[in-house]
């Protein structure tokens, strides 16, 4: 099984993290379990979800929890979930919310610990000290092994990390940013922070809402997907040139565009495991080859040069 060490943690993870955002949304429970079974059968062990997936009721966590209980495979899974996303009362990082939602996630996931627990979105209305102390308390309690951050500005992320260090608290070990061939702002905003603090990077929207699979081409068939409109918007941002480069490299390797797009991310600085979701086994089969695909320096440069400037 292809594995990679998750930054400064002791966790060894499959280099493609399976996104659980579709579970209970575009994939019902039966289909979700089929995707999960196929992912594990291929050597996968790293699954990402959140308390706010979806509709504010944690359906994704519930589906994942039942699957692990039925398969008896919790010990083989590296499990990541989040707090602070969604809307209404869930979207904050107050100490009471973090403590309450962590235990609610544990119940839905039918487990006694979370391997990687994210601050899903920054909360500027809550003092950083309150937030980082609440995460540290969960680590000390033993219900969270490591903590992570997503959707922070560089300034706020650096401030949180510095405060964690000064107070001797558990530190963010992982950063989950929006990053893909069509969205490279991360490279000059958050990457310097990740490199300075030795954070493992797990990009979300790694396939640009499905655009980098090639299914949203000009003149192509209409795709019935909630993400279709957003994905097609990339065509107006130089997306056709990126698809052409992906076509060339994928043809050379006899693989899929999705696998090439993920392999490009895996070759970028600090990236350990891009996050990609699949609502069917067929979609999963398009992304799995990325785990072992190695692109040449010339291919990487071809892809990098085709993308919109960061």
Task: Provide the annotated active-site residues.
Answer: 53
Q: Where are the beta strands (DSSP E) in 20-143?
A: 46-48, 78-83, 114-119
Look up residue 15 and give its two tokens.
């280099």
Round to whole Å and give the CA distance between 256 and 249: 9
**Residue 42 CA: distances (Å) to CA of 3, 15, 26, 234:** 12, 12, 22, 31
Burial 206-244, CB ≥16 within 10 A → b, else e: bbbbbbbbbbbeeeeeeeeeebbeebbebeeeebeebbe
Residue 212 in contact with residue 261, Cβ under 8 Å?
Answer: yes
Round to whole Å and give the CA distance between 36 and 43: 11
Using the structure block, give the residue that is written with the tokens 């309690």. Answer: 141
Q: What does the DSSP assignment read for 150-208?
A: ES--HHHHHHHHHHHHHHT---EEEEE-B-BTTB-THHHHTHHHHHHTT-EE--BSTTG
SS3 212: helix
Round to whole Å and give the CA distance between 126 and 43: 40
**Residue 297 CA: distances (Å) to CA of 117, 214, 255, 268, 305:** 35, 23, 18, 12, 12
- 310's enclosing H/E stretch is none
């Amino acid at each position: 099984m292809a594995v990679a060490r998750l930054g400064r943690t002791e966790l060894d993870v499959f280099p493609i993290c399976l996104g659980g955002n579709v579970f209970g949304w575009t994939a019902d429970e039966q289909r979700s379990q089929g995707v999960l079974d196929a992912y594990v059968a291929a050597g996968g062990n790293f699954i990402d979800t959140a308390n706010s997936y979806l509709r504010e009721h944690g359906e994704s966590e519930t589906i994942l929890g039942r699957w692990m209980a039925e398969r008896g495979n919790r010990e083989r899974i590296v499990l990541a979930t989040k707090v602070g996303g969604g809307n209404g009362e869930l979207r904050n990082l107050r100490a009471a919310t973090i403590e309450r939602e962590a235990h609610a996630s544990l119940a839905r996931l039918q487990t006694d610990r979370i391997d990687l627990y994210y601050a899903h979105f920054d909360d500027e209305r809550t003092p950083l000290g309150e937030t980082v102390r609440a995460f540290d308390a969960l680590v000390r309690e033993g219900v969270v092994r490591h903590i992570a951050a997503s959707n922070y500005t560089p300034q706020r992320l650096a401030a949180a990390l510095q405060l964690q260090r000064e107070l001797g608290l558990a530190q963010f070990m992982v950063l989950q940013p929006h990053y893909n061939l069509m969205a490279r702002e991360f490279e000059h905003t958050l990457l310097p922070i990740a490199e300075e603090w030795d954070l493992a990077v797990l990009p979300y929207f790694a396939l640009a809402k499905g655009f980098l699979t090639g299914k949203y081409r000009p003149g192509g068939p209409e795709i019935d997907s909630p993400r279709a409109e957003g994905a097609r918007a990339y065509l107006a941002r130089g997306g056709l040139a990126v698809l052409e480069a992906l076509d060339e490299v994928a043809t050379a390797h006899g693989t899929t565009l999705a696998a090439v797009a993920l392999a490009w991310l895996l070759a970028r600085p600090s990236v350990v495991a891009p996050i990609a979701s699949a609502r069917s086994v067929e979609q999963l089969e398009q992304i799995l080859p990325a785990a072992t695909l190695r692109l040449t320096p010339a291919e990487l440069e071809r892809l990098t040069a085709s993308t919109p400037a960061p």
